[in-house]
Amino acid sequence: MKHIEKIGEIPESWKVLKAYRYIYLESGQRPKKFVTDNPNDIPSLGGENIGGDGFLKFENIRFVDKSYYDKTNKGHLKHYDVLINKDGANTGKIAIYDEQKFEKALINEHVFIMRSKDIDQRFLFYFYYSKIGQNQIQAKVVGSAQGGINNGFLKGTYIPKPPKPEQKAIAGILTKVDEAIKATQESIKATQKLKKALMQNLLTGKMKPDGSISEDSNLRNTKYGKAASSWRYCQIRELVKENVILKIQDGNHGEIHPTSKDFTESGIPFIMASDISKGFIDYTNCKFITKQRAEKLRIGFAREGDVLLSHKASLGYTAIVGELTEDYIMLTPQVTYYRTNKNKLKPEYLKYFFEMYTYQILFESYAKQSTRNYIGITNQKKMWFYYPEEIEEQEKLIKPLVDVDDVLRNKQIKTEILKKLKKIIDATAINW
């Protein structure tokens, strides 16, 4: 083994190359006058299409006229091109064009293509995706604020060059992990579609728990479309008056609100809207405050079984507070908790109702009536809600959704494990 500055320990048989001599950079353009909305035109990929996980995102593709593709000789995508984001908050994010998703495609002016005749393209990608490669890129970011990289950023950077068979072997192992990640992610998307369809049908009474379909004569019109006529349909404030919902409350506003100087490494979780994701609360990355600081607060004490709903800026994220090591968690003013009478309304039913597509659309439209993209507790109570009053029927309706959520959670855990495995293999293989 030998030690190389900026790379670390590598095998004696590996060479080290000055990157700028062996890697070709090319960028493109997306002139406004050639931009179209026609999916039959030429896809134009930008920085927004490069994900943080090394994969390209194809959800929001822009297009340019075919005449522009024909007349420009820059930015034409080829199989296994390595793409790197040149500027903005995601400078240095990298992906590989390995799917050949389009017959023809371009990049815009915010992306570099990286190509090399001497280094396997997949090995090139995995090196610059690795921590060592990313550190070299970030060291070359120039400019104030968010900054960026220019076409000279490869100068002063180095890349290891194993023998070609080793390059292909390393890239092959990492590619198999990536394929497993992609397959799991596609499975997650399919399961999420199933869940949305189930919610929209089960939580309206259009489909019964046994899978049979309700007669149209047994449905009535609501603000969310057709729903079972035998179910109760009312505003949430009526449920509060009747103690079906025992309490609705958000976190502390104004001067009493904890600030960054109050945050600690551990203690009472201090939950923001950004800490609610995919139906769960992120206790790993959330902020914490001490119990002494929490006890000085007036409101926002969420307890086990409470349903959380984000209502400011990031709208409609929901989760149920699970088992806690302390008596409560604290909420910011961005998040509301709903505490139900569990003998009358299952928290899981309320959570899934909040997740339902038609509820999310109406909730967001009400929030946008505010300049702050915000819907306060008073207006949340005006939202309409329907449910079967028999608790046994609620339990039957939510069971298929709970089962699907369990499947989703297992798939999400598998994806995270695969991503960690990829980082470990990448770091080990690149820094052998």
pLDDT, tens digit (0-9, with 9 covering 90-100), for 184-214:
999 999 999 999 999 999 999 999 888 899 9
Closest CA to 23 of 141, 131, 109, 125: 125
Please name the fold of domain 2-162.
Adenine-n6-DNA-methyltransferase TaqI; Chain A, domain 2 (3.90.220)
User: Rounded to an integer, what distance in angstroms lies between the CA atom of residue 431 and that of residue 156?
Assistant: 19
Residue 110 per-residue DSSP state: T
User: Rounded to an integer, what distance in angstroms lies between the CA atom of residue 338 and that of residue 351?
Assistant: 9
The model's pTM is 0.79
pLDDT tens for 18-48 read 999 999 999 999 999 999 999 999 999 999 9
pLDDT at res. 431? 61
| Distance, CA of 382 to chain centre | 30
pLDDT at res. 171? 92
Q: Does domain 232-387 have CATH number 3.90.220.20?
A: yes
pLDDT band at 430 (very low <50, low <70, confident <90, very high): low
Residue 427: C-alpha distances to residues 13, 114, 336, 357, 371 (Å): 18, 21, 42, 41, 46
Q: For the chain, what are the domain ranges? A: 2-162, 163-217+389-432, 232-387
Residue 34 per-residue DSSP state: G
What values do phi and psi take at 202, rounded to 5? -70, -45
Among 114-123, 129-138, 169-178, 369-378, which stretch is predicted with the lowest mean pLDDT? 369-378
- Contact between residue 124 and residue 97 where contact means Cβ atoms under 8 Å apart: no
pLDDT at res. 59? 86
> What is the chain's mean pLDDT, rounded?
92
Please name the fold of domain 163-217+389-432.
Helix Hairpins (1.10.287)
pLDDT band at 260 (very low <50, low <70, confident <90, very high): confident
pLDDT at 114 > cutoff 70: yes
pLDDT at 370 > cutoff 80: no
pLDDT band at 98 (very low <50, low <70, confident <90, very high): confident
Q: Do domains 2-162 and 232-387 have the same CATH topology?
A: yes
